[in-house]
Amino acid sequence: LPRFWNRTSSAFHLVGFAPPLFPRYCHVRVPEGLLKDLLPGPVTLVMERSEELNKDLNPFTPLVGIRIPDHAFMQDLAQVFGGPLALTTANLSSQSSSLNVEEFQDLWPHLSLIIDGGPIGDGQSPECRLGSTVVDLSVPGKFGIIRPGCALESTSAILQEYGLLPSHGSCL
């Protein structure tokens, strides 16, 4: 994996595996039903990493982002590899999300591999560019919104249906 971004936050996300496998890679402190209600979808769940997860991924934080996109290509790719993929975003921090490979062409020289699985979203709605809603679930009984993203309202409603409370400092 390239070290192009040099981020100290949770830059790498595990993508494309089923909720029953989560305990292998992170400490799950929410009901499995909640995971199934949110995933697959436009949500990244941040949880405490497990001891089994490679320490070279996110070396400066005990947390890891978990994402199961509702995109058949990514799910198929993870299935072919037999487990989650460790990925980072295809844009620099604070820039809008890329929806196709041509939009991050300036980064290509820094990447080891580019796989074009087709466009993401409909490409027309501005919400597509907001990226996934990123939720911190590392504190039992609470949730924190790290990035509002494109699914804030529906995600917050589901979290609250399961009795989770917004944590102090959450952007809700």
Averaged pLDDT for residues 57-66: 87
Alpha-helical (H) ranges within 8-93 are 22-25, 32-38, 72-81
Residue with tokens 């949880």: 47
Residue 11 has a pLDDT of 47
Secondary structure E strands in 81-141: 85-87, 133-136
Query: Options 3.40.50.620, 3.90.1150.10, 3.30.43.10, 3.90.870.10; which CATH number does 13-166 get?
Result: 3.90.870.10
Per-residue pLDDT of 124-171, as tens digits, reads 677 778 889 999 999 999 999 999 999 999 999 999 999 999 986 555
Strand 43-49 to 63-67 pairing: antiparallel
pTM: predicted TM-score of the whole model, two decimal places? 0.82
DSSP state of 86: E
Residue 124 has a pLDDT of 66
CB 9 within 8 A of CB 25: no
